[in-house]
């Protein structure tokens, strides 16, 4: 039998076989495709035999086999497409259940979110609620109501982003406390987390936006020792029972007296290392009793009411908690970094 006869017989055989394919039987169609078009299929066998054809006829026969391959492929593709458009066909017909499934990638909480949630949990256990305020606020609530009038030198420390002459991107979450006190009667016991913005150069230790969480307690006869006890309780809950806190005198326009709080370095246990700059101490927050002028600004009588406030940077707390050495890692979206948490 000549190769031309084999080609003619193969056409007849293929047409007979493809007509017998059921409209929903994809397995039979795949079997037919492998029988004729695979590397060991019948068309491949014809190409192998092409070398036995006389050299003068070889181009004609070769083209005939190529045309046959395209014709077979087209016929099979048309049936495959009819499977895709068949409304009665189950999607499971096209799924190979023996193949391994795709791995599912689970997300993780951002270390800033984890830190905020942990701080909120600690203070909620001792009666503090949570309040949120606007990130764009007017000059009065961000500065003046906090005893920072225009041209006050403390404004230079804020490196403020001004939206216009009166509105700013808040430089601290203390504005939330002002809004809350203006619209609430004491006593108040609240923490205020959120994003804040300052026009600072981006480096290992500073960024143009970061997160703060501030606390405020207003009641009658509130003392400095109450504030110390609250902050010491937080430090031990957050950093561990072995941590030691110390209070250093400081100045803030909205508190008087004011203090800064350090904790003993967790890395060297107070002996001195590169993390604590050989001092044995790490600064974590500022605090103080609410200045009477601030109470007057929100309509509270300082002869009746008193209180304390404190504020801390969330990034700094996370850096100390998790041993992170670059604040920029919190904001660059590096998945490898985030998966560690």
DSSP 274-299: TTTTTSSEEEEEEEEEEPHHHHHHTT
Residue 119 has pLDDT above 80, yes or no: yes
The predicted-structure confidence for 18-34, as pLDDT tens digits, reads as follows 888 766 677 888 888 88
Say how far apart CA 132 and CA 28 lie, in whole Å: 64
What is the torsional sign of CA 216, 219, 224, 229? negative
Residue 85 has pLDDT above 80, yes or no: no
Q: In this structure, what is the dihedral angle of CA atoms 206, 210, 216, 222, given to the nearest 10 degrees?
A: -10
DSSP code string of 34-98: HHHHSTTSHHHHHHHHGGGS-TTTHHHHHHHHHHHHHHHHHHHHHHHHHHHT-TTS-GGGG--TT
Which letter, b or e, does each residue of 236-245 get, where b requires 16 or more Cβ atoms within 10 Å of its Cβ? bbbbeeebbb
pLDDT at 288: 96
Tokens of 187: 């006593």
The pLDDT confidence band at residue 158, using thresholds 50, 70 and 90, is low
Least confident of 165-179, 196-210, 271-285, 322-336: 271-285
The predicted-structure confidence for 24-73, as pLDDT tens digits, reads as follows 677 888 888 888 888 888 888 888 887 787 888 888 888 888 888 888 88
The predicted-structure confidence for 171-180, as pLDDT tens digits, reads as follows 999 999 999 9
How many other C-beta atoms lie within 10 A of the C-beta of residue 22? 9
Residues of the chain with pLDDT > 90: what percent?
Answer: 48
Tokens of 128: 């503090």
How many other C-beta atoms lie within 10 A of the C-beta of residue 31? 12
pLDDT at 24: 65
Beta strands in the chain (DSSP E): 129-130, 136-138, 161-162, 167-169, 188-197, 209-219, 245-252, 255-264, 281-290, 306-313
Residue 92 has pLDDT above 60, yes or no: no
CA triplet 243, 244, 249: central angle to 5 degrees? 140
The predicted-structure confidence for 232-256, as pLDDT tens digits, reads as follows 999 999 999 989 999 999 999 999 9
The pLDDT confidence band at residue 83, using thresholds 50, 70 and 90, is low
Q: In this structure, what is the dihedral angle of CA atoms 138, 139, 140, 141, given to the nearest 10 degrees?
A: 60
How far separated are the first and last CA of the chain, in Å rounded? 73
The predicted-structure confidence for 271-283, as pLDDT tens digits, reads as follows 777 777 888 898 9
Mean pLDDT for the chain overall: 87
Its pTM stands at 0.67
Residue 188 has pLDDT above 90, yes or no: yes
Which letter, b or e, does each residue of 248-282 get, where b requires 16 or more Cβ atoms within 10 Å of its Cβ? eeeebbbbeebbbbbbbbbeeebeeeebbeeebbb
Residue 84 has pLDDT above 60, yes or no: no
What is the torsional sign of CA 154, 160, 165, 170? negative
The torsion angles phi and psi of 174, rounded to 5 degrees, stand at -65, -25
The pLDDT confidence band at residue 86, using thresholds 50, 70 and 90, is low
The predicted-structure confidence for 281-311, as pLDDT tens digits, reads as follows 989 999 999 999 999 999 999 999 999 999 9
Say how far apart CA 108 and CA 102 lie, in whole Å: 19
Residue 94 has pLDDT above 70, yes or no: no
Closest CA to 303 of 199, 221, 201: 221
Tokens of 219: 């009641």
Q: At what angle do helices 224-239 and 111-124 cross, to 10 degrees?
A: 130
Mean pLDDT computed over 202-221: 92
pLDDT at 23: 61
Given a contact cutoff of 8 angstroms between Cβ atoms, the answer to whether 288 and 259 are in contact is yes
């Amino acid at each position: 039998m000549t190769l031309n006869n084999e080609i003619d017989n193969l056409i007849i055989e293929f047409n007979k076989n493809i007509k017998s394919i059921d409209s929903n039987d994809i397995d039979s169609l795949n079997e037919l495709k492998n029988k004729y078009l695979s590397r060991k299929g019948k068309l491949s066998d014809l190409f192998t035999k092409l070398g036995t054809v006389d050299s003068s006829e070889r181009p004609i026969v070769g083209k005939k086999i190529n045309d046959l391959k395209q014709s077979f492929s087209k016929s099979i593709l048309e049936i495959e497409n009819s499977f895709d458009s068949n409304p009665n066909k189950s999607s499971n017909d096209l799924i190979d259940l023996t193949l391994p499934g795709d791995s599912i990638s689970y997300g993780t909480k951002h270390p800033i979110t984890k830190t905020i949630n942990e701080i909120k949990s600690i203070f909620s256990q001792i009666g503090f609620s949570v309040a949120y305020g606007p990130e764009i606020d007017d000059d009065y609530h961000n500065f003046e109501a906090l005893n920072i009038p225009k041209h006050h030198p403390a404004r230079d420390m804020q490196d403020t982003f001004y939206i216009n002459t009166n509105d700013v991107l808040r430089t601290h979450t203390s504005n939330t406390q002002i809004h809350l006190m203006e619209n609430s009667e004491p006593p108040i016991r609240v923490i205020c987390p959120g994003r804040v913005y300052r026009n600072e150069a981006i480096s290992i230790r500073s960024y143009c936006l970061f997160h703060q969480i501030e606390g405020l307690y207003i009641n009658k006869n509130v003392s400095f020792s109450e504030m110390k006890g609250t902050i010491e309780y937080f430090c031990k809950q957050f950093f561990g029972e072995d941590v030691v806190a110390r209070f250093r005198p400081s100045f803030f326009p909205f508190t008087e007296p004011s203090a800064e709080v350090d904790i003993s370095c967790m890395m060297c246990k107070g002996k001195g290392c590169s993390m604590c700059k050989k001092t044995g101490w790490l600064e974590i927050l500022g605090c103080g009793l609410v200045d009477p002028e601030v109470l007057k600004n929100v309509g509270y009588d300082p002869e009746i009411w008193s209180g304390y406030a404190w504020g801390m940077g969330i990034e700094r707390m996370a850096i100390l908690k998790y041993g992170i050495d670059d604040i920029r890692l919190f904001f660059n979206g590096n998945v490898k970094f985030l998966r560690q948490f």
